[in-house]
Amino acid sequence: MGIEKTGAIVLNTRDWKETSKIVTFYTSSRGKITAVAKGARRKTSPFRGCLEVFTHLSLVYYDRRDRDIQIVSQCSEEESFQDIREDLVKTCYAAYFVQLVDEMVGKDEPGEELFRLLLAVLYRLRDNGDFDIVARFLELHLLRVLGYSPLLKSCVVCQKSAASSRGELEFSASSGGVICRGCAAGVSDSMNISGGVYSALVHLQKVDIGKLSRLKLSRAISEELKTAMHYYLGYLLGKRLKSQEFLEEVIKDSVQCSVVSGR
Ligand SMILES: [Zn+2]
């Protein structure tokens, strides 16, 4: 059993026994780990306040390689994202981000790159902007790191260049990429994607997160892009995430409130 010190983000937490918690972290050194924080629910616990979902912290734990559950030794908060927690819509995006990573990533996946990606999108929520674009950025780059990037260069069936088919493309989750119209008839799960969505996908796969705020998408393209991504993620996960459904409800309500209040 070794002592490991690492940066970590809380992905989820649940009560365990009388006073403890079992917490899943995304760590920069070991990727996803689960650890028990003994006595974390006691009022005097040094862990109190540190183990909320999507908190960024510095974690010290006993690493028992042969066990599924590690033991938290110490933790100190780096960033609680209190400003995000005070905003319902931002909180829902953050909850979706951490649940997506928790559900998509297994044990022994690369630590550092995904840790930085998740931390970067959480920090982006502190600004104002189009958080749907930030969500699509996370989804696409998570898929890239895990080896599931949608294939966009050419039709996955006949290899015809996608650029030459622009505006005439479909996307198939089971094939993992775009399909030209000629081949789409033979693929049962393909859906139409517009030229605008195709361009957004290509751009989001390449763009640096620092330049994300320059990307502007029309509401129609943004909605179509979201539908395509959630269709693909739903196929890979075999389900829709609760945090994703809740986020959709909250966005719908906040848009209605803006319309009613004239904002
Ligand atoms: Zn084809």
∠ CA 90-94-98, rounded to 5°: 170
d(CA 169, CA 178): 6
Report pLDDT for 109. Answer: 77
pLDDT (average), residues 35-53: 92
Report strand pairing: 177-180 vs 169-172.
Answer: antiparallel
Gap from CA of 237 to ligand 1 centroid (Å): 26
Asked if the model's pLDDT at residue 48 lies above 70, the reply is yes
Q: How confident is the model at residue 32 (pLDDT cuts 50, 70, 90)?
A: very high
Distance 157 CA to ligand 1 centre (A): 5
Q: What is the pLDDT of residues 223-252, one digit of tens each?
A: 999 999 999 999 999 999 999 999 999 988
Q: How close is the Cα of 162 to the center of ligand 1, in Å?
A: 9
Separation of CA 154 and ligand 1 centre (Å): 8
Where residue 13 falls among pLDDT bands split at 50, 70, 90? Answer: very high
The residues spanned by each domain of the chain are 2-80, 85-261
Which ranges of 78-128 would DSSP assign to H, the alpha helix? 82-85, 88-104, 112-124
pLDDT of 263: 53
pLDDT the model gives residue 128: 87
CATH number for the segment(s) 85-261: 1.20.1440.120
Rounded distance from Cα 54 to ligand 1 centre (Å): 42
87 C-alpha vs ligand 1 centroid, how far in Å?
Answer: 45
Under 8 Å CB-to-CB from 161, ≥6 apart: which residues? Answer: 153, 154
Q: What is the pLDDT of residues 162-190, one digit of tens each?
A: 988 767 899 999 999 999 999 998 889 99
The tokens describing 164, both together, are 């030459």
- pLDDT, tens digit (0-9, with 9 covering 90-100), for 72-105: 999 999 999 999 999 999 999 999 999 999 999 9
Closest CA to 23 of 89, 66, 73: 73
Give the burial string for 196-223 (b: 16+ CB within 10 Å, else e).
Answer: bbbebbeebeebebeebeeeebeeebbe
User: How does residue 253 score in pLDDT terms, banded at 50, 70 and 90?
Assistant: confident
State the distance from the centre of ligand 1 to the C-alpha of 14, rounded, in angstroms: 48
- What pLDDT, on the 0 to 100 scale, is given for residue 52? 95
Multiple choice CATH, 2-80, 2.40.30.10, 1.10.443.10, 2.40.50.140, 3.40.50.10330: 2.40.50.140
The whole-model pTM stands at 0.94
